[in-house]
Structure 1
Amino acid sequence: MSSELDFELSKHGPLVEEVRRRGFDRFLALAKHVSQLPYGRPSNCEDFLAILKERRGTCSFKHRLLAAVAHECGNSNVELVVGLYAMSEQNTPGVGVTLNRAGFDSIPEAHCYLRLAKQRYDFTGLSSGSTSPFSALLSEHVICPKRLTEKKKTLHHQAVASWAKQSGLSFDDAWALREACIQALASNNALKPTGTSAGASGPAA
């Protein structure tokens, strides 16, 4: 883990103040805590702190909070990245049964993580597969935390629409398959949080 991520959370904004109130005074300690939270969508998607309040989060909500906190501390070089990759059982354990039932090996997925000095850091906290999602990347996009939800949705829908056309599916059927994969992933991992990963761990919403 890069020592550049182990910076002090100085009081520069409301998110940082709330995180410090919860007992975190260094970024890496917060990131490790976030990684250990169970995988699942929080109910309040607009609240950056929802993952701490509800003690659960997906890659989007975990890394959105981390990037926003880093930026409030003046570390804008910590980038929030949306990576589109070919999600399979090999790089995202738990989705294989759903994909195989539909007759596919993979489907485009949008995964969020941090990047600093060209090094990727994944604090989603899911179990690693036999290969890394990063080895199946289709594209990467640096996103402002406040615009993550809309930008990620647009990028992901475009990727799934293109894949659906090539695969002989309607967009709605392709997206339903993707949602079924994420539901399977959440069911497999919601009660099994894992440790911090700084390379290859799972995806999603």
Structure 2
Amino acid sequence: MNFKITSEGKISKYFISQDIFDFAQASKFVQNSAYKRNTNKFNKLCVFEDLGGTCSTKHALLKELAVENKHEEIKLMLGIFNMNSQNSTKISKVLDKYHLTEMPEAHNYLKVGENYLDFTRKNSTPEDFLKDLVQEIEIQSDQTIEFKTNYHQTYLKQYLQEHPEINFAFSEFWQIREECIAALQT
């Protein structure tokens, strides 16, 4: 998927000011930036300002770039996949510590038709999560913050109800999830 950046929109102008002139270059820039939490994820340019971002801020930025350039075929997705020791090796110690085999995680990525695009990390590919994807919905870039968190927490509460063998209260389970995310950032 590629297109030239021709819009006069704020995000398009920012990419162009960085000598990035098409979607492929923008995607590569985003993918090669550090994986880390942003200081102000409400700021659409936070990936530039923080020199990195999460799956949410990185893919929301690319979705906004696509919208500015009238490429509505690029969809921003919110999926839930089961992180485990195979698809997220950095969380193995956390899972072992709490005797868990998986942690359901909300993940943002792009989709064009049936093609999945993941620019979260330097070596990210959709194959990292696709076989463990349990559900997905299309969202807009402004839904990557509060809506995503609420959607994820609702899913986790349901997951705990469906897995009574997991003896953690929701708040404890969410803290374990936070430990997993911290492990991913190392």
Range into which the TM-score falls when normalised by the shorter chain: over 0.9
Q: Closer, same or farther in 2 for the Cα pair 1:119/1:24, shift >3 Å?
A: same
1:107 and 2:103 equivalent? yes
Cα shift at 1:175: 0.1
1:43 corresponds to which residue? 39
2-structure distance, mates of 1:35, 1:132: 14
Q: Quick one: which of 146, 150, 156 aligns to 1:154? A: 150
- Amino acid in structure 2 at the alignment position of 1:175: W
- Amino acid in structure 2 at the alignment position of 1:42: N
1:57 and 2:56 equivalent? no
Q: Report the aligned-residue RMSD.
A: 1.5
Cα shift at 1:168: 2.6
Q: Quick one: which of 124, 134, 138 aligns to 1:138? A: 134
**After TM superposition, what 4+ stretches of structure 1 lie above 3 angstroms from structure 2?**
126-129
Q: Which has the higher contact order (CA 8 A, sep 6+)?
A: 1
2:172 corresponds to which residue? 173
For residues 61-76 of structure 1, the aligned pairs below 5 Å read 61-76=57-72
2:7 corresponds to which residue? 11
Q: Secondary structure at the match of 1:94?
A: helix
1:34 corresponds to which residue? 30
Cα shift at 1:152: 1.0
Percent of residue pairs identical: 27
Give ranges in structure 1 of 5+ residues lacking alignment.
Answer: 188-205
1:88 corresponds to which residue? 84
1:77 and 2:81 equivalent? no
Cα shift at 1:107: 1.0
Cα shift at 1:114: 0.4
Q: Secondary structure at the match of 2:136?
A: strand
Cα shift at 1:132: 3.0
Q: Closer, same or farther in 2 for the Cα pair 1:127/1:115, shift >3 Å?
A: same
1:70-126: CA deviation from partner (whole Å, max 9, x where unpaired): 011000110000110111111112011101110001011011100001100000115
1-structure distance, mates of 2:85, 2:55: 17
Aligned pair count?
182
Cα shift at 1:150: 2.1
- Amino acid in structure 2 at the alignment position of 1:96: S
Give ranges in structure 2 of 5+ residues lacking alignment.
Answer: none
1:3-35: CA deviation from partner (whole Å, max 9, x where unpaired): xx2200112421111221121110110100110
With normalisation by structure 2, the TM-score equals 0.93
Cα shift at 1:164: 2.6
2-structure distance, mates of 1:76, 1:12: 17
More strand by share: 2
Q: Would the aligned equivalents of 2:64 and 2:141 in 1 still touch at CA under 8 Å? A: yes
